Every structure is written in C-alpha cells, then in structure tokens.
Amino acid sequence: MPHAMHANSGVWQFQLPLTLAFGLTAWVYGRGWLSLRSTSFDGLQRWRAISFLLGLSLIWVAVASPLASLDAELLTVHMVQHLLLMTFAAPLIVLAAPARPFLLGLPKRFMYAFVHPAVRRPVQRIGDTLGRPAVCWCAATATLMGWHIPAAFALAMRSQMWHAVELASFFVTGLLFWWPVARSWRHASPASGWSIVVYLFLATLPCDALSAFLVFSERVAYPMYLSTPRHSGLSVLDDQQMAGALMWTTVTIVYLVAGAILSTRLLSPQPDARQALERI
C-alpha cells in the first residue's frame, strides 16, 4: 500500500514489528551493559545507558509510534520525524558510545561468525574517512536539502520503500554529523574544538534557508498534501509554515546549546594547567 494512503484512514497506526525490533535492540544493549558493569571495576557510566535508551525511544517515536502514521497528512509531523532522528536521537546515540555494550550483548557465535570479520581494518578505514568533519557536514546537508526537494519528497510519500530510505538516511547522516562534535567534546582541544563550533554554526545556514522558504512562501511547496484528507484544523499552507518555524527554532536552539557547551569546555582550564597553577 502506498505510504500516502496511510493518512486516509485517520487512525493512528501502531507498528508492532518495528516496536519488537526496538525492544530486542534495547535488550541486547542492556545485556551487554550489565555484563560490562559486572566485569569492570569502574563500570560503565549510567548516563551513557540512559542516553542510548532515550535515543532509541525517540527513534521509535519517529518511525514506529502512532504519531508516525500522520506524516502523510501533516508536514509538521514529517518535520518532527526529521528533527527527532537527526537533531535529538542521533546525538544521544553518539554520546552513548553504544558499540562495546551492544556487541557484548550479542550471542558469541553470532559475534565470531559475522561481527568480528566485519569490524576489521576495512571498516575502520571507512570509519576514519566518513568521520572527517567536511564529509559529515556535506552528508547531513545533502540529505536535509535533497529529501526536501519536492520531487524527492513526493517519491518518499508515495512509496513505503523510499520513505524507509528517507528516514534511515536522516538518522545515519545525523550520526555522521554529530560524530565530530562528540569526539571534540570528549577530547576538547583548541586546535580542533573551535573548528567544530564553526562547523555547528555553518550547519544552521542550510536549515535557516529551508525553514525561511517554508515559513515565508505563499505557495504550497508539496502539492500532495492538497489531495490528502485532513483531520486537523490546519490548512496546508499553515501546516507548511508551522513545519518551517519548528525546524528553524529547534535547530537554532540545539546547535546553539551544543556550540555553547563546547565553547565553555574549550575555555575552561584543563586539569593539567590547573594543577600547574596550583603548584605555582
């Protein structure tokens, strides 16, 4: 059934298979996290587990909750999905650094048969290439702007497969985008840290341009919403303007907060420098 047909029923839909998949993912992660807690003297920081589970919950809200079934009726819901995946869930998952506990939570036979061969040097080299800030910035920006081109947007609304690809690309490029930010936060240094602050500022510009277009345009950007039955009181144009305002405000605040936190960390005395000052 075409994705755009989901809005015709007016009924919130619950994605049981996806929900079970998210539950299994949380169980595997929890199993590995508890294993690390029991074998490591320091254990694994509790906030990382909370960050991962919160990020996973936001992904579920974006793609499998009843709210997700309304994105073919309201552009604002589609924008909520995009923001949850790229702006909230992705940084929470990156900050959680879930790879080690998740891998430990997998069955050992599966690990040695499939995972170990896949995480050797070729994957590490690809990761080093993809982790470059310029690559991450371009990937996230291209995904954001590309899927909001009316032709690409209409394709995703008509096809279940392309809609899944769209949502997956939002999340994957969101992970890429926040990877250099998290790395700079963990190892803050003036050499790379201030470039990441600029990186965050530059990332707001494409979002500002797209948001301004949606907010101030007097024409409907995505005509498929004109032919979709609507069960809310919003007109198509009002919905479009609300979606643009939501992205404009959310991205500005989140990136500003991230930049402020990183700047504060960079301006704070490092432990070694503080100890040297105390000795003097």
pLDDT for the residue numbered 166: 95
pLDDT for the residue numbered 280: 33
Closest CA to 62 of 15, 99, 10, 7: 15
Closest CA to 76 of 236, 190, 209, 256: 236
Contact 32, 105 (CB under 8 A): yes
| Stretches in the chain below the pLDDT threshold 70 | 1-14, 38-44, 108-131, 187-191, 231, 269-280
pLDDT for the residue numbered 193: 75
pLDDT for the residue numbered 99: 80
107-123 burial: b if 16+ Cβ within 10 Å, else e: eeeeeeeeeeeeeeeee
d(C-alpha 89, C-alpha 168), whole Å? 12
pLDDT for the residue numbered 10: 44
pLDDT for the residue numbered 41: 47
CB atoms within 10 A of CB 174: 27
Which tens digits make up the pLDDT trace of 216-254? 998 999 998 888 777 677 889 999 999 999 999 999 999
pLDDT for the residue numbered 18: 84
d(C-alpha 264, C-alpha 244), whole Å? 30
Q: How far, CA to CA in Å, does 74 sit from each of 18, 43, 143?
A: 22, 45, 20
